[in-house]
């Protein structure tokens, strides 16, 4: 029991200690804002300040935010009423610290310091040194000021863009801003001989926006504070600078780094975070009980120049134009930096693909060459084949040719005899001469047919040709041979034009080889009625079929497929070239060749060639 009481007492004691500690570190801070919570650039400062305070201060801070609404439009009037309002607001529970943010707030606090919580310590910050009077400040007040060097800002513009000859100055029209307009006019005087200055402060915002959109070449825009425009309209947040940036046709400059990333090019700028940090640490020292008057903070000037990489790129400002030690933020990431490995991969794939395509193209070319080579070989072989055919047929051609030659000679000699007689029979001589002429033509035809066989084809060009013409040519060529072998060659089937695209000599050669083959086959048999029938017909799928049928002994069924093989011959004297050449030629033109035996006896050879549809009928 005693032990339990002991424990409870210990817990109670610990809790009291904790509460005491907590109470000791709980501070109430009154933030006196110049325009409102969200007016740039003070909004950025305020959030930085709170952040720094919470980082550096061990206890908890309770904030009271009071915007100095009067600063927006007017100065002086109503301020004492506002001061009284504040006094009564914090009469019961005075704040531990008053922080005045920005020039207007600082000035208000200075003027009303005696009435406003004289015993509460105050910190004036985010205010230019020039705006702090100091005469009304007590020992209870500390200042963390900054220095705005307007001249340095203009120097920066002229250094980064040396061709600039016009600077449009965009500053608002609130009392505080009017101060800065006056200040700027004063400072910028020394640039009057270098640049023209265009003051837009007495214009409503919409007009300013239009003006910055239509600036002459070599212009720059200097953007100062912009809380309230000439029409009395307040501009909260970063809206004003964003819109100016969106509309502007010239580079935008300013003096506070809070605007960096909103569209300003950059340069030496007031370091918001640094001021906030300084202010926060001063605030903590005051909260910790240090005497404010003992805390001396030097005014914070421009930080080393900082630039927005995107704007540098946009306005084509080379990095070597920037002052030494400049920092570049928002550097645009190049596609390569962002996607280097993907790009590398794509590049590799393209490279491999390219190599593959090249290899395939080379392969294709090689194949093409090989094909053309084999085509030429085929022509050579086909020509040799024809020459051989011509040799074999020369006997029958000679025989056939000697018929008209013999008749001519006999007729001539007869005419000589008749002319030697006493009574010349003119009518008979005329008859004789007519016969001589006819026989001469006949001899010429025979020679033509034979020469067609020996003609060497120059190229491989194909043309439209009528298969029936080829058949008729072949019949004319083989006529002497057929006669010699006592074979009748007949013609059957389609009489219409059967157009195919091929080389005429090649097609003729195929038919010729088939017919000669049939003739050769029949020479072994003793059939009295030797016949070869050549038939042409249209078959399905737009093909033309040509058949060469004989009534010879036929082909042994086990050799039907092999007859087209190279050097396969059923003949004792054949070398087995004719049919394989025929097959090679047909392959070239997308045709097909095969052999069968006729049911009625004899062999039949067939081939197909694609019909040219455009002229099918």
Partner 1 sequence: MSSTAPTIHVIDDDASFRTGISRLLKASGYQVAVYESAHEFLKNSTRDGPGCILLDVRMQGLSGPELQAHLARTGNELPIVFLTGHADILTTVQAVKAGAEDFLTKPVSKRILLPSIERALARRDELQKKNAVLDNLRALTGSLTPREREVFALVVRGKRNKQIAYELGTSERTIKAHRHAVMEKLQVRSVAEAAAIAERLGLLSESGNSSR
Q: Does 435 bind partner 1 (CB under 8 A)?
A: yes
Please report, as residue ranges, which positions from 415 to 434 form the binding site for partner 1 (by CB under 8 A).
Answer: 417-418, 428, 432
Site residue total, partner 1 (CB under 8 A): 29
Strand order from edge to edge, sheet including 327-329: 266-267, 306-308, 327-329
In terms of Cα–Cα distance, which of 96, 143, 138, 85 is closest to 120? 96
Q: Rounded distance, CA 225 to CA 240, Å?
A: 10
Residue 420: both structure tokens together: 């030697």
Interface segment toward partner 1; rule CB under 8 A; list 211-219, 331-339, 412-420, 585-593: 412-420
We find the least distance from the C-beta atom of residue 403 to partner 1, in angstroms, to be 4
DSSP 323: P
Contacting residue, 173, 439, 520, 550, with partner 1 by CB under 8 A: 439
Nearer to partner 1, 281 or 410 (CB): 410
Nearer to partner 1, 136 or 527 (CB): 527
CA 50-55-58 angle, to 5 degrees, is: 105
We find the least distance from the C-beta atom of residue 578 to partner 1, in angstroms, to be 23
CB environment 519-555: b (16+ within 10 A), e (fewer): bbbbeeeeeeebbbbbbbeeeeeebbbbbbbbbbbbb
Q: What are phi and psi of 544, to 5 degrees?
A: -105, 135
We find the least distance from the C-beta atom of residue 603 to partner 1, in angstroms, to be 23
Nearer to partner 1, 140 or 410 (CB): 410
Q: Does 403 bind partner 1 (CB under 8 A)?
A: yes
We find the least distance from the C-beta atom of residue 534 to partner 1, in angstroms, to be 20
R_g (Cα) of the chain, nearest Å = 57
Contacting residue, 409, 426, 539, 566, with partner 1 by CB under 8 A: 409
Nearer to partner 1, 128 or 400 (CB): 400
We find the least distance from the C-beta atom of residue 519 to partner 1, in angstroms, to be 15
We find the least distance from the C-beta atom of residue 431 to partner 1, in angstroms, to be 9
We find the least distance from the C-beta atom of residue 413 to partner 1, in angstroms, to be 5
Q: Rounded distance, CA 175 to CA 185, Å?
A: 15
We find the least distance from the C-beta atom of residue 409 to partner 1, in angstroms, to be 4
In terms of Cα–Cα distance, which of 206, 223, 172, 184 is closest to 35? 172
Contacting residue, 69, 187, 405, 560, with partner 1 by CB under 8 A: 405
We find the least distance from the C-beta atom of residue 444 to partner 1, in angstroms, to be 14
Q: Does 413 bind partner 1 (CB under 8 A)?
A: yes
Contacting residue, 381, 392, 407, 560, with partner 1 by CB under 8 A: 407
Q: Rounded distance, CA 7 to CA 157, Å?
A: 72
Burial class (CB in 10 A: 0-12, 13-18, 19+), 289: exposed
Q: Does 486 bind partner 1 (CB under 8 A)?
A: yes
Q: Does 442 bind partner 1 (CB under 8 A)?
A: yes
Q: Does 399 bind partner 1 (CB under 8 A)?
A: yes
Interface segment toward partner 1; rule CB under 8 A; list 5-13, 163-171, 266-274, 407-415: 407-415
Give whole-number Cα distances, 93 to 8, 21, 32, 35, 59, in Å. 34, 19, 16, 24, 18
Cβ neighbours for 497, distance < 8 A, ≥ 6 positions apart? 466, 468, 615
Contacting residue, 143, 212, 408, 477, with partner 1 by CB under 8 A: 408
DSSP 270: B
Q: Does 400 bind partner 1 (CB under 8 A)?
A: yes
Nearer to partner 1, 317 or 446 (CB): 446
Contacting residue, 406, 542, 556, 590, with partner 1 by CB under 8 A: 406
We find the least distance from the C-beta atom of residue 523 to partner 1, in angstroms, to be 14
Interface segment toward partner 1; rule CB under 8 A; list 297-305, 315-323, 408-416, 517-525: 408-416
We find the least distance from the C-beta atom of residue 417 to partner 1, in angstroms, to be 4
Nearer to partner 1, 196 or 399 (CB): 399
Nearer to partner 1, 149 or 440 (CB): 440
Cβ neighbours for 76, distance < 8 A, ≥ 6 positions apart? none
Cβ neighbours for 91, distance < 8 A, ≥ 6 positions apart? none
Contacting residue, 140, 297, 410, 598, with partner 1 by CB under 8 A: 410
Q: Does 481 bind partner 1 (CB under 8 A)?
A: no
We find the least distance from the C-beta atom of residue 475 to partner 1, in angstroms, to be 17
We find the least distance from the C-beta atom of residue 491 to partner 1, in angstroms, to be 19
Cβ neighbours for 63, distance < 8 A, ≥ 6 positions apart? 29, 30, 31, 50
DSSP result, 101-126: ESHHHHHHHHHTTTTS-TTS-EEEEE
Start-to-end Cα distance in the chain: 125
Whether residue 531 contacts residue 551, with contact meaning beta carbons closer than 8 Å, is answered with yes
Contacting residue, 310, 331, 438, 535, with partner 1 by CB under 8 A: 438
In terms of Cα–Cα distance, which of 578, 155, 217 is closest to 382? 578
CA 356-358-362 angle, to 5 degrees, is: 115
Half-sphere exposure of 10 (CA within 13 A, CB side): 6
Whether residue 606 contacts residue 594, with contact meaning beta carbons closer than 8 Å, is answered with yes
Q: Rounded distance, CA 390 to CA 383, Å?
A: 10
We find the least distance from the C-beta atom of residue 552 to partner 1, in angstroms, to be 18
Please report, as residue ranges, which positions from 368 to 397 form the binding site for partner 1 (by CB under 8 A).
Answer: 395-396
Nearer to partner 1, 413 or 537 (CB): 413
Interface segment toward partner 1; rule CB under 8 A; list 309-317, 334-342, 385-393, 480-488: 480-488
Q: Rounded distance, CA 195 to CA 167, Å?
A: 7
Residues found near partner 1 in the complex (CB under 8 A): 395-396, 398-411, 413-414, 417-418, 428, 432, 435, 438-439, 442, 483-484, 486
């Amino acid at each position: 029991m005693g032990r339990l009481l002991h424990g409870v007492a210990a817990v109670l004691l610990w809790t009291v200690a904790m509460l005491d500690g907590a109470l000791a570190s709980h501070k109430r801070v009154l933030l006196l804002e110049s325009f409102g919570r969200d007016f740039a650039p003070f909004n950025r400062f305020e959030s930085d300040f709170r952040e720094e305070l919470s980082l550096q201060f061990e206890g908890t801070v309770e904030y009271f935010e009071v915007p100095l609404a009067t600063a927006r439009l007017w100065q002086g009037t109503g301020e004492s009423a506002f001061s009284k309002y504040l006094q009564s607001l914090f009469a019961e529970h005075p704040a531990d610290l008053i922080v005045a943010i920005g020039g207007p707030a600082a000035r208000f606090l200075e003027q009303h310091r005696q009435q406003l919580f004289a015993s509460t310590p105050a910190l004036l910050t985010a205010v230019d040194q020039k705006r702090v009077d100091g005469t009304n400040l007590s020992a209870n007040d500390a200042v963390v000021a900054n220095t705005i060097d307007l001249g340095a800002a203009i120097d920066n513009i002229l250094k980064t863009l040396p061709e600039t000859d016009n600077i449009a100055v965009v500053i608002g029209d609130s009392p505080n801003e009017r101060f800065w307009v006056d200040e700027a006019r004063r400072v910028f005087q020394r640039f009057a001989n270098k640049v023209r200055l265009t003051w837009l402060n007495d214009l409503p915002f919409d007009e300013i926006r239009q003006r910055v959109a239509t600036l002459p070449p070599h212009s720059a825009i200097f953007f100062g504070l912009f809380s309230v425009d000439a029409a009395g309209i307040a501009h909260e947040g970063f809206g004003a600078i964003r819109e100016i940036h969106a509309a502007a046709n010239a580079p935008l400059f300013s003096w506070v780094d809070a605007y960096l990333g909103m569209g300003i090019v950059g340069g030496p700028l007031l370091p918001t975070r640094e001021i906030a940090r300084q202010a926060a640490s001063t605030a903590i020292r005051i909260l910790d009980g240090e005497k404010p008057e003992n805390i001396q903070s030097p005014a914070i000037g421009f930080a080393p120049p900082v630039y927005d990489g995107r704007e540098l790129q946009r306005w084509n400002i080379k990095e070597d134009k920037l002052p030494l030690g400049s920092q570049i933020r928002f550097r645009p990431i190049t596609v390569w930096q962002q996607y280097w490995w993907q790009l590398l991969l794509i590049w590799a794939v393209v490279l491999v693909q390219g190599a593959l395509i090249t290899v395939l193209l080379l392969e294709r070319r090689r194949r093409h060459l090989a094909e053309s080579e084999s085509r030429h070989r085929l022509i050579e072989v086909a020509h040799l084949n024809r020459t051989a055919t011509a040799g074999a047929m020369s006997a029958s051609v000679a025989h056939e040719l000697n018929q008209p030659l013999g008749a001519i000679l006999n007729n001539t000699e007869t005419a000589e005899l008749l002319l030697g007689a006493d009574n010349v029979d003119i009518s008979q001589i005329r008859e004789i001469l007519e016969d001589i002429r006819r026989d001469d033509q006949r001899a010429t035809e025979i020679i033509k047919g034979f020469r067609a066989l020996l003609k060497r084809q120059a190229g491989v060009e194909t043309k439209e040709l009528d298969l029936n013409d080829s058949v008729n040519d072949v019949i004319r060529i083989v006529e002497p041979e057929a006669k010699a072998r006592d074979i009748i060659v007949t013609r059957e089937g389609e009489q219409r034009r059967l157009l195919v695209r091929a080389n005429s000599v090649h097609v003729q050669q195929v038919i010729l080889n088939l017919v000669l083959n049939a003739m050769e086959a029949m020479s072994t048999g003793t059939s009295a009625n030797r016949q070869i029938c050549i038939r042409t017909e249209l078959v399905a799928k737009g093909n033309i079929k040509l058949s060469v049928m004989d009534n010879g002994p036929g082909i042994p069924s086990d050799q039907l497929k092999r007859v087209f093989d190279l050097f396969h011959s059923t003949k004792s004297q054949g070398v087995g070239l004719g049919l394989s050449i025929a097959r090679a030629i047909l392959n070239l033109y997308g045709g097909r060749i095969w052999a069968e035996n006729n049911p009625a006896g004899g062999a039949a050879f067939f081939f197909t060639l694609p019909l040219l549809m455009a002229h099918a009928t």
